[in-house]
Every structure is written in C-alpha cells, then in structure tokens.
Amino acid sequence: MTSRFTITRRRLLAGLGTVGVASAGAGLGTTAYFSDQETVENNELTAGQFDLMVDWQVTYTGPNGFEYVAAYPDDYENEDPDTIATNLFGDRITVPDDVRDPLFTRDEIALNRFDAPYADLPDAERELVEAAFRTQFADVPRDLDGPILDIDDVKPGDSGAISFSLHLFDNPGYVWLNGGLVEARENGVTEPERTDGGEAGSPSEVASTLDNDVELLDEIRVTVWYDSDGDAEIDADEAILLGGNEDPTADPSLREVLDLFSTGYGVPLDGTGAVDVGAAGRACFENSTTDYVGFRWELPVDHANEVQSDGVRFDVGFYAEQCRHNDGSGGEASVRLSNATAIETPNPGPVGLGFDVENGFDEPTAITSIGVAPADPALTLLSDDVADTGSRYGYEVYVDASTPGYTDVAGGVSLPGTVALGSDGYDDGADQEPILAPGEVGYATVVAFRDADGDGVDMNGRSVTLTLTYRGETSGHTGTEVVTVVG
C-alpha cells in the first residue's frame, strides 16, 4: 500500500470582534481580537518546517479624525511609522504609542548583539539572531491579553482599518483570507429603530449564522486590499481585492464579505499582489518576506435607524499551506479541528477542553494521537482522575465517533505531552483508536488540566496547542493537523 504525501497546514484566525450600536444616532462599538486557531510554530513537514506569524496596525477615523489605536509590535515610541524615537543619548524610548514599530532586520539584530553581519556569524549565533528576529511577530493567541480594537459609540461616517503583516518562515506558502460570523444580536429595539421602515426581526434575535435579520451586517461596508506599505491606508497604487469604491455604499456589506470568507478555504491571496488570478496556479508567498493585507470597515452616513442597538461579532483570519507538492487550489482534504471550548467535568469545574474533529477525506480515517501543549507552563498534568471508565470523563482523551476512540493513561500525562490513542501501554481494554467515516464530525474531550499540586485549572480563556495525527484506513496516508485553541 502506497502512502500519499500529505500537507501540514497552518491556520490562524483573527477575530474582528463585536460591532454594536449602543446609543441614539446609530453609534456602534467595535471590538477586534485574535481568537482560537493558530498552529504552533515549527510544524513538522516531510520537506522541512512551516510557520506563519503576524503583526498589525489598527486605526480609527472618528470624532478626533485619524488615530492610531493599537499595534503589534509596540514596544517603543515612534517619531513616525518608519522611525523609532531616541533620547539625547541615542537610546530608544521604550514607551508604547499604538504605532507599529519598524521591524529590525536580521543584520540589524546581528550587528547590535555580535557586532557582525548575520551572514558572517557562526551557526549558534545565527540561531540566536533568528530567534530574536521571530519574537518581533505575534504568535496568536498566545501574545494577546485581549481585544486589539475596542471603540465605543462609533457614529455613521466613521471608519477603521487593520493592516495585517504576514510572515511565512522556513518554506513558501499559499495563503487564504478567511473568517466568519460568530454572533449577531438585535440587542433590543430602540424607539427610533422601532419606527424605522427598515427594521426587521425579533428584538431578542441572536444568531450564529448569516441567515438572520440583524441589519448592522448589511450596513457596514468593507474593503480588502494589499496594503503594500503597511500604513493601514488605501493608496492609489495599491491593489484592491474587495470594495474600494468612491461611494462606500457600493462596497460589499459585512454580511457578503463574511459569506465569502467562510466559503471553502476563504479568499485566495496572491503572493505578488495580483487580483485577477484564481486559487490554482497563483503566486506563492515567499518565506522570510513581509506582506501586508488591509481590512477596512465603514458605517456610511446614508442609512436609517434600523441599526441602532445591533451587535455583531465576527472572525477574520489567514490560512496557509506550503507550496511544495501543491497547486494552491485548496482542494486537498484534511482532518480539521474546530469549535474548541472549556468544558465542565466531574472533577469539578471547567477543567477540560472539548472540540469537533471533522474527517474531510473520502475514506474512513483514524485519529492516532493527540498532542497537548498548554501555553501556561503552570499546567503540568493531564489526568482524568475519575475511576469510572463508563464515562467519557474517565479517559484523558475520548473521541465520540462512529467508531469511538479513547485512552486512559495510568497516572495521567505530563504536559506538554502526547496521548497515543489505542496504545496507552496497558492491556486493559481502556484504549482504542477512533475512526471517523468520510465527512463525519466527531466530538473529542481532553481532561483534566492540572497544576503541580494536582488541582484542576479553569480552562476558560487559556491557550492550548493541539496536534492531531491521523491515518487513512484505505490508502494508508498519514498527516498532521496543528491548531492553537483558546478554551
């Protein structure tokens, strides 16, 4: 039986959070945050390694005009977006100012640390420079304490933008822009909203799909472009992917854009900034380069009161696959992990994680192992600590599928660690590989996360990198899916 080459993927998902109208006059509040789907760096590939990292600049144009409101990296005060400010002694001023700091090149880091160009350094010192170079970029969600954008009471005519900077390491890759709706709410109906002819839907409506009557999704207009200079402003010579019209009401609505983002792998991006190419055969993004993609929103002035009190939460993110052995079409099937949440267990408390596992292949596929790596080093043990294996909580890992799988490890698993499904080292019948039918979505639980004292740890808001390995039961192909989730 021949094993197929399978592509290891890197998925990063950024949330452009809540958008809600809170006051008369149709003001809205916007929150943006990175959420739960970025893989850990240095994913293993047959041909090497693959890593996607980002940084960003957030701007807002409102009552005070154009403002910088958040950025990463933001360790220093800047004279302008291209220049870090210094004091009288020539030292950089370490005061965050919401302006994205210019990135230090490998040569600049090498000269500062070792007084020699990067290319002239021995291997050990080059590794130190490379590590320092990569720490400039965000490893989301680990490097975030909360939303990257939080603006209240935005009025019609206001707008904002996020310029994402993409950095692929180790190998070139294809990149997609993706995302989707998280939640849309009417949040009640104000008096002006109630008398508006465009108001529809129940005042208590809460929806997680785009099939809803929350008007704010239709009134916010979106432009997506290749922000070649990374300034979060649309310049005349920059290529527009979506929108970009002089009249913003002619731009696609947020509802329409989220529909595009959530279809397939999302909107394919071209490594040269071309806009008239399809997914297959487009240019790859080169590794060790910097590319910028901008997302701009606007609430135009020519709409009525129907958006008052509405709220929207949505995700925007990036998905990358390495170029080698790949045409960029996005047609390669995969095993995918999604919808991770902290879960209550009998231990007690929300000390476990639950998530969906989908088999995208056209053959039965076994999950062979799950690696668990919490971001917080205080989480040192994964142990069910429940004697009853008649319950899913009696296993460190349990996957509910047409052929369920589970593993109960004596003494638990030291973290970070890997649970081999179907092979816990004991001939006690307490382990079995789960097998998902083609297209099946199984539900997996990982319990329970504990500290050095053996106490359960609340997993709400905690970041964990999960590494799933799988095997096709017909073809014998194997693959890996690595995703960082937040409980």
User: What is residue 255's predicted lDDT score, i.e. its pLDDT?
Assistant: 92
Residues 67 and 149: beta-carbon distance below 8 Å: no
* Residue 386 to residue 271: CA distance in whole angstroms: 51
State how beta strands 83-84 and 149-154 pair. unpaired
**DSSP code for 329:** -
- pLDDT for residue 351 is more than 50: yes
pLDDT in tens, 120-152: 999 999 999 999 998 888 866 666 665 566 665
User: Per residue in 247-276, pLDDT tens?
Assistant: 888 899 999 998 888 777 788 999 999 987
The angle subtended at Cα 471 by Cα 469 and Cα 475, nearest 5°, is 155
Q: How confident is the model at residue 161 (pLDDT cuts 50, 70, 90)?
A: very high
The amino acid that residue 185 corresponds to is R
φ/ψ of residue 248, rounded to 5? -60, -25
- Give the pLDDT confidence score for residue 121 in this predicted structure: 96
At 440 the pLDDT is 94
* pLDDT averaged over every residue in the chain: 79
For the stretch 418-438, pLDDT in tens is 998 876 545 555 578 999 999
Q: What three-state secondary structure class fits 315?
A: strand
pLDDT at 10: 46
What pTM did the predictor assign?
A: 0.65
Q: How far apart are CA 146 and CA 154, in angstroms?
A: 20
